[in-house]
Amino acid sequence: MKFFTIDQLDQINEGEEKPARYAVIGNPVAHSLSPQLHQPALDALDQDARYIRVEVEIGKVSEAFEKMHAAGIEGINVTVPHKLEALEACHKVDPAAASMGAVNTIVFDHEGKRTGFNTDGPGFARAIREEFGVDLGDLKVIIVGAGGGAGRAIATQCVLENCPQIILVNRTLEKIEGMMEDLLRLGQPETLEGPRDRISTIALDDTGLEEAIAASELIINTTSVGLKSVDPSPFPSHWVEPHHLVYDTIYNPERTRLLRDAESHSARVANGLSLLIHQGALSLEYWLNQDAPISEMRKGVLETIKG
């Protein structure tokens, strides 16, 4: 079965050797790679547990959480379109997740109380360290498509990491101006000295975008441009220079037009697979309180993608 509904939760362990303990919710959810990411990790850690998909209708996230906990689920991942609704259904929310405006990881305590986390931002910081051997907080960053959920999570993490420059790029500035004000309020004054000098916004069609990219060290694409093989780069790719690090949050295809062109200009590049793995690993660490087997998680996802 590709997924269960909340009305089928009493059937999740029928004919199974291991009980379902962890799950991902979404709508749709059949395409989610989370089981391929987490089940190999659970098996490697000798956990007597299965990871399943549960499709949940919009407006029923809180009900789903209650029924899933009653069915024996101990931890949940949340994907689109439920990340905001999940935040509202939590009894407690991690401050960073609250700043990101969404949660993607739920941890139940013994009484069924729900704490929400967002592992996208911290997972991205881990991915940058793995891919480029440098700390996110040391880089001048420009985020293309900052108005989406991934863009906001990454931008929030960049503020928390105290990046020396954060440029938010979006097709419409109205969508990110409010977010910028939220980012400026993050943290303590002593850790955010001169934040208005470090965080700025620019429209995707602004003539100053080329100069902004040239002044950056890490270029991050969080738009959906590149999902199709015929997609162009989200901006003229000849603007990429050898000193740039280019990270595309898309991982399938493995090389988008942006990454192919950036490589041709001698820039170092990486795709979103490392983000997928590390955000998932952080979820597992919240649930189990032990290190996640990254190599097993990567192997499970790659086998599925290449298969």
Catalytic site includes residue 83: yes
What does the chain come to in residues?
Answer: 307
What amino acid is encoded at 73 in this protein?
I
Distances in Å between the Cα of 80 and the Cα atoms of 29, 87, 102, 117, 150 are 9, 12, 10, 15, 11
Distances in Å between the Cα of 46 and the Cα atoms of 18, 24, 41, 49, 81 are 11, 20, 9, 9, 32
CB contact at 8 A, 139 and 161: no
Three-state DSSP at 285 gives helix
Sheet with 50-55, side-by-side order of all strands = 4-5, 50-55, 20-26, 75-78, 105-108, 114-117, 92-93
Closest CA to 140 of 212, 193, 218, 201: 218
Three-state DSSP at 194 gives coil
Which residue is catalytic, options 2, 18, 60, 83? 83
Closest CA to 161 of 198, 136, 126: 136
**Distance, CA of 289 to CA of 264 (rounded, Å):** 42
Catalytic machinery residues = 83
